[in-house]
Structure 1
Amino acid sequence: MAPKVLVSDKLSETAVQIFRDRGIEVDFEPGLGKDKDRLLEVIGQYDGLAIRSATKVTEKVLAAAGNLKVIGRAGIGVDNVDLPAASAKGVIVMNTPFGNSITTAEHAIAMMFAVARQIPEASASTHAGKWEKSRFMGVELTGKTLGVIGAGNIGSIVISRALGLRMKVIAYDPFLSEERATEIGCRKVELDELLAKSDFITMHVPLTDKTRNILSRENIAKLKPGVRVINCARGGLVDEEAMAEALKEGRVAGAAFDVFAVEPATDSPLFGLENVVVTPHLGAATTEAQENVALQVAEQMSDYLLTGAVSNALNMPSVTAEEAKVMGPWLKLAEHLGAFIGQMTDEPIEAINVLYDGAVAEMNTNALNAAVVAGVMRERNPDANMVSAPVMARDSGIEVSKTTQEQTGVFDAYIKVTMKTAQRQRSVAGTVFSDGKPRFIQIKGINIDAEVGAHMLYTTNADKAGIIGILGQTMGENGVNIANFTLGRSDRGKDALALLYLDDAVEAKVIDDLMGTRAFNAVRPLRFAV
């Protein structure tokens, strides 16, 4: 029997025809996604569900989807899909991570022109029969300094367009190397310098704990007088109330926002200000972008339903069914090792090498490499997966390599990840035990045996008596239970480390208390998707 797909949002007829041409039965009901009750009634008969943003794939919908095997999101964001519930249900969730990049970058450039020349206000005035030529005095872009916050895929496209406009470009991005900055034609700076020197600022970062309110009230106060700010990335990157105050006072000359902290945005402190251009999240809204992602998701879903090939999956590695049976635990280990490196590294990463020893060297090391890189890059972008992460690494100037070797040492197989920055080199190794559980077996050359937990704490110190007591007492005083405790040292009286598996995440106070003892060189909380 041919697979059956429901298209519940607006996709192009060309995309729908792809399913039909591949021999897949398809029901095209572009308004169904908004009818929750009707969706619940019919979803059980479909093998695939193709959506945009209108359809909400909740845990309740997934529970009713007895035959569903794959969800394809035409676009990058999957906020409308309950990803954990889909994974638990065994449903693959695919997206199209790069189909909107050019369109979003172009919208940022368009918004920059609009705010520089006051085009919306001037247009409204002229439509009203006025001729207020002297009222709308703009500024040129040529020769101005553009500050780009986030120089990844979209940010690098914006930079290339800005250079074509003869702008000077500076960029703040903790993951941007000096070599990559030179390659794309910008100068890498710290955030405070960007705030102080930019005539225009545009943001191209995801919303994470580290980027939320990156333009806070405090940072808005640091902006160069007369700056113009553009946000076509994510709502929540800017303190909208503080920005509105700065605009009213004239400290910020203008702003252009396509995204807002709360969407749909029916009210905002930025609304009604003459020096503000606003659009309703149009970054990806071009005919070309919508067509590209629709065609891409139809091809991906068809490939999976007909051949089992998986691409751009957010919750499943791109490996064959046969490989997945053997590689599953090793893929999870590879991701954990990458996540360890990513969380331990604050400066730009220049290179990552993955060593495969023994039996694991005979597996699909390309997929394993992608899992390592996904773990590393997820610290930069929570949307990173095994498909998008290698591209993100390349765009950040990170050189990724692999080495294979026959079995050495006591383990039948292990993986070792080595990361290099301009300041240091760091390594972590792990293996999979017979119970199928990943283990950390070495950190910075120090041998350990640590089970991987969702919440962990890593400490380093000079080897001396009393460290275990300090850790135990501090955790106890703060009500944090230790599930497992691993120690290691390079030699007596020299470098030592501890890796604690905790029941819950630690608060900042715990870190401060430990550092306040002066017994530790470093204390860092870690989290892993176990």
Structure 2
Amino acid sequence: MSEKKNTSYPKDKVNILFLENISDAAVKNFKDAGYASVRKLGGALTEEDLIREVKDVHLLGIRSKTQITPAVLAAAKKLQAIGCFCIGVNQVDLKSATEHGVVVFNAPYSNTRSVAELVIGLSIMLIRRIPDKNTAAHQGTWMKEAKGSYEMRGKTLGIIGYGNIGSQVSVLAEALGMHVIFYDAVTKLPLGNAVARKTLKEVVSEADIISLHVPDNKATRNMINDEVLQHFKKGSILINYARGEVVDLEALAARLKSGQIAGAAIDVFPWEPEKNGDKFTTPLQGLPNVILTPHIGGSTEEAQENIGEDVSNKLYQFLEMGVTNGSHTVPALNLPPQEGTHRILHVHRNVPGVLSEINTQLSKNNINILGQYLKTNDEIGYVVLDVDQKLSDTAFQLLKQVKETIKVRLLY
């Protein structure tokens, strides 16, 4: 990140808080840009602790464990933006964040390779029944046999959710000589020789290995339930490195015990411990040919560094220039800076007449608008204005008085 302009608010007064051991790359980026007040904490915080910590915070960085509730957002009076240093944003109450005019960013692409590589590795381990042989060896039993062990070549991989990760898994699987079929709720262009199927049941009934890559929403919760599991090909393998609410684990355990499903790798669970060392239970514990991992699908050094760079750059671009590309709350805008102007950011409720009132108030006071861009979503509108330097303070005060205003910031 390079420093473009001096913000109106002194950089040493901007409070930045990073939780959950976010990559040092993010901390370094802000400190290199002149932001001195950057704190990094190792774990997530409870709602009560977070409410206390965020009162004077301008930028907040979290991962998947920290829950941003309406109560947290109500307490964070100075909060401008939240950076989710992970793929998802379901840990943030986006409706409340939108109502408060808080920008929410994430890193949807930065750890896709890490997850894709691990899915392929797990597929090989499970189809060769390595977990069983590993357990036996640790227990002092020699189990040298080929029964139930297969090659990946020639087998069919079924991908549920053909997005950023699913499509990368598809490419890697084809390189191993696999056939790839997939199902996605949205029409997607296949990569390589992958073939789309019209229904979920078509995929699970044909595939030797099924890998899930879907978000957590109403349509995907409990997607893989007992009714769907009964259509799985006998001897197939299930991999879930997507979201914990997608699979009915009790039903999966029953199908594993019956032998219909030959193995599984699960990384995400409906309930997960708050911190390392906490007790963890799941119906899948103790079952043969099952690999359980603690939500580490994207946890590689490379992925964490990439995520740190990606999200911190988005936060920085917003803080310095008002850029909201990639935001899940405030509409996406990217107005190039203009020399000889001061920039003001205005977030307001999306009702008719706000832009007209903004322009009327500025016009009445002979304030020249040298650049202006408005974008709205269903809830709010976001205006970036470049105004005459001599009257920017007056313009800032006028914009604060506009009806339906949520937030105004004199950027530089």
Q: Quick one: structure 1 residues 209 and 12, their matched pair in 2 at CA, closer, same or farther if it must change by over 3 Å?
A: closer
Structure 2 counterpart of 1:89: 100
Corresponding residue to 2:128 among 117, 122, 125: 117
Deviation at 1:364?
7.0
Unaligned 5+ residue runs, structure 2?
A: 1-9, 274-278, 336-342, 353-371, 379-403, 405-412
1:471-508 Cα deviation digits (max 9, x unpaired): xxxxxxxxxxxxxxxxxxxxxxxxxxxxxxxxxxxxxx
Matching residue of 1:204: 213
Q: Distance in 2 between matches of 1:128 and 1:136?
A: 20
Alignment of 1:176-195 (within 5 A): 176-177=187-188, 180-181=189-190, 183-190=191-198, 191-195=200-204
1:275 to 262, 278, 289: 289
Change (3 A) 1:204 1:325: closer
**Which amino acid in structure 1 is aligned with residue 317 of structure 2?**
D
> Do structure 1's residue 107 and structure 2's residue 118 form an aligned pair?
yes
**Paired residue for 1:285?**
299
Question: How far is the alpha carbon of 1:229 from its aligned partner?
Answer: 1.3
**TM value normalised by structure 2:** 0.73
Shift in CA distance, 27/221, structure 1 to aligned 2, threshold 3 Å: same
Counterpart residue number, 1:18: 29
Alignment partner of 2:318 out of 304, 310, 319? 304
Higher relative contact order (CA 8 A, sep 6+): 2
CA change 1:152–1:31 in 2 (3 A) is: closer
Output the CA distance in 1 between the equivalents of 2:130 and 2:239.
15
Matched, 1:225 2:252: no
Judged with a 3 Å threshold, the aligned counterparts in structure 2 of structure 1 residues 220 and 46 are, in CA distance, closer, same or farther, namely closer
Per-residue Cα deviation, 1:274-300 (whole angstroms, up to 9, x for no partner): 121111111111111111111212211
CA contact (8 A) 1:170 1:189 kept: yes
Distance 1:24 1:166, change over 3 A: same
- 1:38 CA displacement: 4.9
2-structure distance, mates of 1:324, 1:59:
22
What letter matches 2:163 in structure 1? G
Q: CA deviation at 1:195?
A: 2.3
Q: Matched residue of 2:219: which SS?
A: coil
- Change over 3 Å in CA distance of 1:240–1:303 after alignment to 2: same
Q: Distance in 1 between matches of 2:216 and 2:202?
A: 22
Partner of 2:246: helix, strand, or coil?
coil
User: What letter is aligned with 1:100?
Assistant: N
Give the deviation of 1:52 after TM superposition: 1.8
Residues 107 and 232, structure 1, Cα contact 8 Å, conserved in 2: no
- Return the offset for 1:47: 1.5
Secondary structure of 1:296's aligned partner: helix
Give the CA deviation at 1:34: 2.5
Change (3 A) 1:21 1:162: same
Determine the structure 2 residue equivalent to 1:424. none
Structure 1: give runs of 5+ residues left out of the alignment: 331-362, 373-435, 437-530
CA-CA distance at 1:137 after TM superposition? 4.7
Q: Say whether residues 1:236 and 2:245 are aligned partners.
A: yes
Spell out the pairing of 1:365-376 with structure 2 (5 A cutoff).
none
Distance 1:29 1:116, change over 3 A: same
The one of 56, 59, 73 aligned to 1:62: 73
Percent identity of paired positions between Structure 1 and Structure 2: 36
For residue 115 of structure 1, what is the amino acid of its counterpart? L
Displacement after TM superposition at 1:166 (Å) = 0.2
Q: Is 2:185 the partner of 1:174?
A: yes
Describe the superposition over 1:401-427 as per-residue Cα deviations: whole angstroms up to 9, x where unpaired. xxxxxxxxxxxxxxxxxxxxxxxxxxx
Q: How far apart in 2 are the matches of 1:102 and 1:218?
A: 32
Alignment of 1:237-276 (within 5 A): 237-264=246-273, 266-276=280-290
Higher strand share: 1
Q: CA RMSD in A?
A: 3.0
CA 9–266 in structure 1, closer or farther in 2 if over 3 Å, else same: closer
Q: Deviations along 1:316-352, whole A, 9 cap, x unmatched?
A: 112157797799669xxxxxxxxxxxxxxxxxxxxxx
Secondary structure, counterpart of 1:154 in structure 2: helix
Kept in 2: contact 1:114–1:277 (CA 8 A) = no
Q: Deviations over 1:424-445 (max 9, x none)?
A: xxxxxxxxxxxx9xxxxxxxxx
Q: C-alpha displacement at 1:10, in angstroms? A: 0.9
Q: Which amino acid aligns with 1:111?
A: L
Query: Quick check: 1:7–1:26 contact (8 Å CA) kept in 2?
Result: no
Change (3 A) 1:82 1:214: closer
Q: Distance in 2 between matches of 1:66 and 1:325?
A: 15
- Paired AA for residue 185 in structure 1: N
Farther off after superposition, 32-41 or 237-246 = 32-41
CA distance in 1, matches of 2:76, 2:178: 52
